[in-house]
A = this chain, B = another copy of it.
Amino acid sequence: MEPNDDLQRWREALAHDFRNLQDRICSGLEEVERAYGGAAFVEDAWERLGGGGGRTRVLTSGAVWERGGVNFSEVEGEATQALKAQMNTDADRFWAAGVSLVLHPANPHVPIVHMNVRHFALSDGTCWFGGGIDLTPHYVNPEEAAQFHRELQGVCEAHSCGRYQEFKEEADRYFFLPHRNETRGVGGIFFDHLGRDGASREELDALKAFVLDVGDSFLPAYLPIVKANVGRPFEASERDWQLHRRGRYAEFNLVWDRGTRFGLVSNGRTESILMSLPPEVKWTYDHQPGERERATLNWLRQGVDWAGSPR
């Protein structure tokens, strides 16, 4: 089924908005990089066999971020068996657009961060929004985690479709490594299938406004934490801990992350998908954390009420 002109225009506008979001985020990050004499994003524009393409933007060996990737993609095509199974659908074709980013800072006192907003549509007429944003400090600073969550809570509260508590709990469940019995970091928000149960055009527009606002909350939620920590000196032992925490990040993405696994088994663009992997990683058998590192591990659990914690 070809989308009608009206739907086509709606999708074009959404893709346009996602591209602009990618631009704003890259500009905001580059501004910080510039302040420390660092690197700029390099763009890789690609097309997908079967329909669509994307703009992968990667920042390498920056002063602030050792590696950062901010992707836009807009793809369409036939729904493979893997996609039908994962999406629980019989529809033949799909259309998807979104922005996703992962940043791995150079300084272990600056947290890793991830953000993703996306729209997914099937040829049977169903469509939905999904997304999330979560923070992975190498060393948890409870004040900063609370500040990050309050920013996300504020975005949710500004939209009738934004349910912070529900999305926060969903993030606790999603960003979790069962084989380590650890959360990936201090969480954030995660949501999927918003509007899948037959939303009207008005409702979809409201969801779109929410999702774009989530995207725009990324810089104000994250940059203050970056700026507060990027100048802090660090020791070799702290760098070592950072490399081990990145190992957990790689484990999560390769073993548990639905988006990564789906991309890899469905023949997605591997370099864009695995851009989320850290530039350098260490694994040590039975690694023994020090005292401060154990304090961080104690925070890596589900159900911490960050936004409600005392200021």
Binding site for B on A (CB under 8 A): 44, 56, 58, 60, 67, 69, 178-180, 243, 247, 250-251, 254-255, 261, 264-265, 267-268, 270-271, 273-275, 277-286
Hey, which chain B residues are within 8 Å of A282, CB to CB? 279-281
Q: Contact between B281 and A275 (Cβ–Cβ < 8 Å)?
A: no
**In the complex, A264 Cα to B44 Cα: how many Å?**
35
Identical subunits present: 2
**In the complex, A285 Cα to B59 Cα: how many Å?**
9
Q: Contact between A275 and B279 (Cβ–Cβ < 8 Å)?
A: no
Given contacts A179-B270, A280-B280, contact A285 B251 (CB under 8 A): no
Q: Contact between B283 and A274 (Cβ–Cβ < 8 Å)?
A: yes
Query: How far, in Å, is A251 (CB) from chain B's closest CB?
Result: 6
Which of A251, A255, A279, A283 has the most chain B CB atoms closer than 10 A to its own CB?
A283
Contact of A58 among B58, B180, B285 (CB under 8 A): B285
When C-beta atoms are compared, the residue in chain B nearest to A68 turns out to be B285
Hey, which chain B residues are within 8 Å of A284, CB to CB? 60, 279
Query: How far, in Å, is A153 (CB) from chain B's closest CB?
Result: 33
Given contacts A281-B280, A285-B69, contact A261 B271 (CB under 8 A): no
A-B contact pairs, 8 of them (CB 8 A): A60-B285, A69-B285, A179-B265, A179-B273, A243-B280, A250-B250, A254-B254, A254-B255
When C-beta atoms are compared, the residue in chain B nearest to A269 turns out to be B179
Query: How far, in Å, is A84 (CB) from chain B's closest CB?
Result: 19
**In the complex, A282 Cα to B61 Cα: how many Å?**
13
**In the complex, A271 Cα to B179 Cα: how many Å?**
10
Q: Contact between A286 and B271 (Cβ–Cβ < 8 Å)?
A: yes
Hey, which chain B residues are within 8 Å of A274, CB to CB? 251, 283
Hey, which chain B residues are within 8 Å of A261, CB to CB? 255
Contact of A283 among B56, B179, B267, B278 (CB under 8 A): B278
Contact of A277 among B179, B247, B267 (CB under 8 A): B247
Q: Contact between A279 and B283 (Cβ–Cβ < 8 Å)?
A: yes
**In the complex, A44 Cα to B285 Cα: how many Å?**
11
Query: How far, in Å, is A55 (CB) from chain B's closest CB?
Result: 14
Query: How far, in Å, is A272 (CB) from chain B's closest CB?
Result: 9
**In the complex, A247 Cα to B274 Cα: how many Å?**
11
Query: How far, in Å, is A10 (CB) from chain B's closest CB?
Result: 33
Hey, which chain B residues are within 8 Å of A180, CB to CB? 270
**In the complex, A274 Cα to B277 Cα: how many Å?**
17
Q: Contact between A285 and B264 (Cβ–Cβ < 8 Å)?
A: no
Hey, which chain B residues are within 8 Å of A286, CB to CB? 44, 58, 271
Hey, which chain B residues are within 8 Å of A179, CB to CB? 264-265, 267-268, 270, 273
When C-beta atoms are compared, the residue in chain B nearest to A287 turns out to be B271
Query: How far, in Å, is A134 (CB) from chain B's closest CB?
Result: 20
**In the complex, A278 Cα to B275 Cα: how many Å?**
19
Query: How far, in Å, is A28 (CB) from chain B's closest CB?
Result: 20
**In the complex, A67 Cα to B286 Cα: how many Å?**
13
Hey, which chain B residues are within 8 Å of A265, CB to CB? 178-179
